[in-house]
Amino acid sequence: MPSRTVAIASSVGLHARPAAMFVQAATATGLPVTIAKENGSPVDARSILMVMALGAKNGEVVTLTAEGDGADAALETLVALLSRDLDAE
């Protein structure tokens, strides 16, 4: 199962707006995607409640995993999203 790590670039972390944008992108992949903080349990990246419950802050590293056809491309898209300061956009 492919995975990628990325540091959260949004200045306030994965709070409401950036989390919603990330969840929409994860859902749009059509694949099962998980997100986990370092040494944490993975949660469904398609669930806004689970993503917000992670409490991922600016600079914290998370691991994304996906399974299925196109998983590598989907993960690259999600990594690119989390690598931007979504609060500034």
Q: Read off the CATH number of the domain in which 60 is found.
A: 3.30.1340.10
Model-level pTM? 0.94
Domain count, the chain: 1
Tell me if 89 is assigned to some domain: no
Residue 78 in this model has a pLDDT that exceeds 90: yes
Tell me if 52 is assigned to some domain: yes
**Closest by CA position to 19, among listed 59, 71, 56, 70:** 56
Tell me if 46 is assigned to some domain: yes
The 10s digit of each residue's pLDDT in 5-63 is: 999 999 999 999 999 999 999 999 999 999 999 999 999 999 999 999 999 999 999 99
Residue 15 falls in the annotated catalytic set: yes
The residue segments making up the domain with residue 37 are 3-82
Q: What's the angle, vertex CA 16, arms to CA 12 and CA 22, rounded to 5?
A: 90
> Which among 4, 15, 48, 79 is annotated as catalytic?
15
